[in-house]
Chain A
Amino acid sequence: MQISFTLNGRPTTVDVEPATLVAELLREQLNLTGTHIGCDTSQCGACVVHLDGLPVKSCTLLAPALDGATLLTIEGLQGAPGSNLMHPMQEAFREHHGLQCGFCTPGMLMTAVALAAEKPDLTEAEVRHGLEGNICRCTGYQNIVVSVMAGAAAMNAAKGE
């Protein structure tokens, strides 16, 4: 079947088997391998993307659900349009060492951006709770939490400008 959606700001039309998972569609058909598959069973969060602004695990979403929707993947996450800068959340992860191998990072970032967008004054407890669905095997989470707090603050500051 043919589906049309907005992918990272661009209108996109693809032919897919209806049983294709969004994570597979992105990685195999569209060559966007920034969205990772860590488990394929909704546990790890490495595959999180934004569907109409909300974070979803793309390994648990069928491609037909994209028809008419707006999808944002890690490849589309960026700072001020046209600035060539990284998103404040990405900057915060770099600054505060919120990553090691980087495998969980795209999912962490997508979840973190959604969390911060939904609630500007996140507490540490809320960040930890909000990241429950994202597993990291490297960092021990401490620096991820610090990064998300800093990134959320930076997003807020940017909004105020």
Chain B
Amino acid sequence: MAVSTNYELKMGPATRESFGKALVELGKTNPNIVVCDADLSKSTNTNFFAKEFPERFFQCGIAEANMVAVGSGLSAAGKVAFVSSFSAFVLNKGFEQLRVTAAYPNVNLKVVGTHSGISIGEDGPSQMSIEDLSLACNLPGFTVLSPADDASMKAAIHLAAEHKGPVFVRAGRVKTPLIYPEGTPFRIGGSHELLTGGDLAILANGLLVAEAIKAAVQLDSEGISARVIDLYSIKPIDREAIDRAARECGAIVVAEEHLKDTGIGARVAQVAAETTPCIMEFVGIDNTYAESGTPEAVVEKYGLLAKDIAAAARKALARKK
């Protein structure tokens, strides 16, 4: 189902801001929600919650591994704990803790990594997370969500809070175009077909969803009809939608702000191999760390724009013939 056929892509807030606001909403109705942050609350926007509910906010200092396990303890004791930091720090520094204190005992911990991908720009590779979705998917039992805009991030945070079990949600630093009207339904394991099309399907998540829409518009002007799917639920992934795209289009492009080799492309390929094998091309970060620059310059240099998706689509179509 196409949510809309005409996307204005008006600029909206950064998904970290949507996350911060959703936490406050949740805090109002659910007294069990508690939040931990590691000296980045001004950046992750958990400071909104801290201001509103200071007694339910725990400042952990610059100590992410400890924060993750403290969050697990809070959740094991009946709270719904959200722990947040830059994605690069909470997942990389906290990975062993996520594995042993949250995933393995199936603890109801919610992890939100902000400043994901390379679109943080100026800070450079030490703060860029290009492997976070892969790491999170390497935690059995974890639900992994990567929303694209304001409405989908707010929905994801509510889904995370309602779901029983560990969840990772990926958020970004930069402002993001609006894709969904407020109130659009989302579900764990779901996806949204944003544009119908039959020549090929572009599957994207996060920041690259808007780029995929722009690429489809470009391709349309060349007489190519591209289906665009927002794979906001990374795990579980929407096998049905992938199978249908493979069957009906015969070619798939996966676009993501993540290392290409270990990202969602590989997961989509696995599903296609198990259901309907088809031609595939991949847009992502190619086995490298990026560098400092403005967000615009960095995503352009590392090939994450609509033009890169369109080029991959043409390549896929050429192979299909």
| A is bound by B | no
Q: Which residues of A contact B (CB under 8 A)?
A: none
Which residues in B have some Cβ–Cβ distance to A below 8 Å?
none
